[in-house]
Every structure is written in C-alpha cells, then in structure tokens.
Copies of this chain bind each other. A is one copy, B any other.
Amino acid sequence: MLDQLWTSIADAGRELVRGRLGSRRRATIQSLCRDLLSTKGEASGAALARELVEAYRMMTDEERQSFFTMLAQDYAADPTRILAAVEAYRQDPSPRSVQALRRACETPRHELFRRMNTAPGGTRAIVDLRRQLLAYLPDRPDLEPVDADLHDLLTGWFNPGFLTLTRIDWNSPASLLEKFLRYEKVHKMRALEDLKRRLAADRRCFAFFHPALPDEPLIFVEVALVTGMADRIQPLIDPEAPVGDPESADAAIFYSINNCLEGLRGVTLGNFLIKLVVADLAREFPDLKTYATLSPVPGFSAWLRQALADSGNKVIAAADRKLLAALDRPGWHREPETVEKLKGVLCRLCAHYLVREKRSGRPRDPVARFHLGNGARLERINWLGDVSAKGLEESFGLLVNYKYDTGQIERNHELYTNTGEVVISSAVKGLLPAQAG
C-alpha cells in the first residue's frame, strides 16, 4: 500500500509543482535548489524535492558536472558565519557555543540533500548521485567536499540498526535473484541456474537491505556448509555438485562477499554482516565448529610481477626467480611437475605479501585488510584453490582462509588496530622466512 501512496503523492506533488510554476518556464536547477532550501521548501518540500530528483535524472553528463560544481561552490559553509561562531565560542566555550560552531561548519548541501531525500525515491536518487559523483572525483578533486557530505549523510542513514538481514533462497523473487547474479563479482555466474546451486540446502546467502531501497541488496555473503575448512573454490560453486546435508556440516565457509551499490562506497557494512551471519548460523547449526572465509588474494600477482621486474628486490631469491619464469607459460597449472616446483615458493611469497607488504602500516592486499580489520586470523594459504582464469590471473590460483574465531575476534581486532600486527596461524608463520631484526 505504501508504494502506491508514494506514487500517488508523487503525482500529486508533480501537479502541485506544475501549478506553482504557472506560466514561467521550467525552473532552473539553481532556482530549484534555492527554493528547496528556502521557506518555500518548508511549505512544499516533497513536491520541490521530487522535481529536483527528476531534473537530476534527466541531466546530461555536462549538466551533471555543472550541478556538482554548483554544489561545491555555492553550497559550502559560510566563512563569515564560521568566524563569528568561533569568536562566540572563544567568549563562552559552552556546549551551546560548540553546537552553534558545529552548525556553522555544516554545509547547506547537507540540508539540501536531506530535503531531497523526502522525494519519492529520494534515497535511491542520492545513492545514485553519489555513484556518479565518485566517477568524476579522480579528475575533479574540487568535488571532494561534496562527496564528504554525502558520505557523512549516508553513513548516518545506513546505520546497521536500520538494515535488515535477509536470507535469500530459491523462493525469492526472480527479479531480486537477478540482481545477485549481476552483483556477484568474486566468483561470477552465467545464469540463474548457477545461482540455484548456491541457494541449495547446504549453502546460505544473506544480504543487508535498507527499508528505503527494498529491492536492492546492499551487500551479501555466500556461505557453504561443509565438512572441514574448504581449500578449493571450484567444488563449492560447481552447479552440478551434489547437495550435502547441512546438519552434518562442521564448517561454514564464507566464499564470496560483494558490495552491491557503488554509491555506498566507504559506508562500512561488511563487518556487521559477517558477524550477524556467524551468530545466525551458530543458532541454526549448533554443531558448526569453524567459521572461515575462502578468499581471493586480488593483489598478489600484480605485486609479484612488479617484484620480479625489479631486479633489486631481495624478497625473491635468485633460484626462485628462475622457477617463477614458468608462470609466463599458459597452462602451467596443468603441468604436474611445474605445479610441484612452484607450490613452495609461491605459498611462501604469498605469506610474505599478505603479512609483510604494507602501506601506511596496513597490509597492501584489500581483502586481507578487510578481514584482519574485522578481527579474523590469517589461517591458511591454499595452493591451486582457484584455477579459473580470474584466479590464475590475480593470484596464480592461490586462495586464503581467514578464520573468524568468536572468542578471539576482539583481541585480534585490538592488536591489529593498535599495532598493525597481522594475526596468523602457526602454519602461515612456518611459511614466512625468519625476519632480520
């Protein structure tokens, strides 16, 4: 019923606006934004907001850039007001003055976006707007303040307390499942039939949804309920794999996690999702003993190729360099002898890459950063875990298990956060060369 009402109100809103505009031509974006922030916006907010959302939708690329430029330039905080508030704070450093100063520092864009959100489909429009803004950012650093405001707002709106965790299965609407097909980037699917296997009795798929975007998964995780900590991905996603009995499983393997909406980049949801899913699985299957991921190492091959290209790099022994030359040979992973020779050296280098190659004190590998930051432990490196073209391309077929041990998460997270130390199993430790100093 709700949806119906919104639509009708939308229509009504449109009529109101049309009436309002009377004979003058279509409002310019500038005047629309101005009106929406003025007392007119208070009186007929939803109607103006709707008009702005529609106007945005129909913008050309060029118009969109102008619109963002306008937001950056004309809707920044007012320096005069800030300075006055600073002065008032100096005179009387009371909570009230702090609040006034904070408000002076808040950009009018903030309020503009809040009012825009009252349009039917407003939240969706704003998430979309940020997606497009992010695409411009590399070339338009001047738009960063606009993005900062959007990130701020969206972080507040997508507070995990407002999200709903939903289990997806084969009874879900086809139109929804289609989106999972599209958003799955880690281990791609060709058709809904592939997805069906991933929703069978020994698999689970959970997604976060926000009430304002009821048909849009925000992030989802795919889990396999199996025996033992899985070391290869192909058996898990093979559409023809026999379906096991989830009741007899002792391990839950998180084999794919995907963020869906580019417009929510940087709004952290994955941390929460994993922990809720662990809690939910623990309740449904009390016999589960292991919660672990089977994760890609997306940056490994790029790093290794770079290291190989740098003749001064000392991490790779000269003997290993020779061996590694085999990696340039297509199909090396199907040559038993080569595979045998490469296993040791690649696993060792991967351990080094994950544990010791850092940027700003954090692991260079983004997937490692995510799970270690969540309090997981780097548990195992799996040789030929993913022999798909993508797996060979990005990590020479290696996959990694990060283990989520409920009793250790908090300790691991604190250690990692405070010292940057990567918590690893003794098996991984065994792969690392002794470190000087």
Please indicate the chain B residues that have their CB under 8 angstroms from the CB of A95 in the complex. 72, 76-77, 107, 144-145, 148
Structural contact, B98 and A276, CB atoms closer than 8 A = no
Return the CB mask of A84-123 against B: 1 if under 8 Å, else 0.
Answer: 0010010001011011011001110000001001110011
Structural contact, A13 and B279, CB atoms closer than 8 A = yes
Which listed residue (B42, B102, B119, B178) contacts A161, Cβ 8 A?
Answer: B119
A192 at the interface (CB under 8 A from B): yes
Closest chain B residue to A375 by CB distance? B43
Structural contact, A9 and B174, CB atoms closer than 8 A = no
Closest chain B residue to A407 by CB distance? B19
Which listed residue (B40, B117, B272, B276) contacts A159, Cβ 8 A?
Answer: B117
List residues of A (264-282) whose CB comes within 8 Å of B's CBs: 271-272, 275-276, 278-280, 282
Structural contact, B101 and A283, CB atoms closer than 8 A = no
Structural contact, A82 and B101, CB atoms closer than 8 A = yes
Structural contact, B211 and A162, CB atoms closer than 8 A = yes
Structural contact, B156 and A114, CB atoms closer than 8 A = yes
A332 at the interface (CB under 8 A from B): no
Please indicate the chain B residues that have their CB under 8 angstroms from the CB of A43 in the complex. 374-375, 409-410, 412-414
Known: A19-B407, A98-B77, A410-B44. A276 touches B173 (CB 8 A): no
List residues of A (1-44) whose CB comes within 8 Å of B's CBs: 1-2, 5-6, 8-9, 11-13, 16, 19-20, 39-40, 42-44
Structural contact, A279 and B12, CB atoms closer than 8 A = yes
List residues of A (416-431) whose CB comes within 8 Å of B's CBs: 417-418
Complex Cα distance A407/B43, Å?
11
Closest chain B residue to A161 by CB distance? B117
Known: A89-B82, A106-B102. A157 touches B160 (CB 8 A): no
Structural contact, B165 and A5, CB atoms closer than 8 A = yes
Return the CB mask of A365-391 against B: 1 if under 8 Å, else 0.
Answer: 000000000110000000000000000
Closest chain B residue to A122 by CB distance? B161
Complex Cα distance A413/B72, Å?
30
Structural contact, B160 and A282, CB atoms closer than 8 A = no
Complex Cα distance A409/B45, Å?
11
List residues of A (171-212) whose CB comes within 8 Å of B's CBs: 171-178, 191-193, 196, 211-212
Structural contact, B175 and A170, CB atoms closer than 8 A = yes
A167 at the interface (CB under 8 A from B): yes
A46 at the interface (CB under 8 A from B): yes
Which listed residue (B13, B46, B162, B276) contacts A46, Cβ 8 A?
Answer: B276
Structural contact, A212 and B106, CB atoms closer than 8 A = no
State the Cβ distance, A369 to closest chain B Cβ, in Å: 14
Closest chain B residue to A414 by CB distance? B39
Please indicate the chain B residues that have their CB under 8 angstroms from the CB of A167 in the complex. 1, 5
Please indicate the chain B residues that have their CB under 8 angstroms from the CB of A99 in the complex. 105, 145, 148
State the Cβ distance, A406 to closest chain B Cβ, in Å: 6
A166 at the interface (CB under 8 A from B): yes
Complex Cα distance A259/B388, Å?
43
Structural contact, A2 and B165, CB atoms closer than 8 A = yes
Please indicate the chain B residues that have their CB under 8 angstroms from the CB of A234 in the complex. none
State the Cβ distance, A180 to closest chain B Cβ, in Å: 11
A164 at the interface (CB under 8 A from B): yes
A79 at the interface (CB under 8 A from B): yes
Please indicate the chain B residues that have their CB under 8 angstroms from the CB of A164 in the complex. 2, 211
Complex Cα distance A191/B156, Å?
40
Complex Cα distance A220/B32, Å?
30
State the Cβ distance, A93 to closest chain B Cβ, in Å: 6
Please indicate the chain B residues that have their CB under 8 angstroms from the CB of A101 in the complex. 82, 101, 105
Closest chain B residue to A418 by CB distance? B39
Q: Which 4 A-B pairs have the closest CB atoms?
A: A12-B279, A102-B105, A211-B211, A95-B145
What are 14 inter-chain pairs, A to B, with CB distance below 8 A? A5-B166, A5-B276, A19-B406, A42-B271, A43-B375, A46-B160, A72-B95, A96-B148, A114-B159, A118-B159, A118-B161, A123-B161, A157-B157, A161-B212
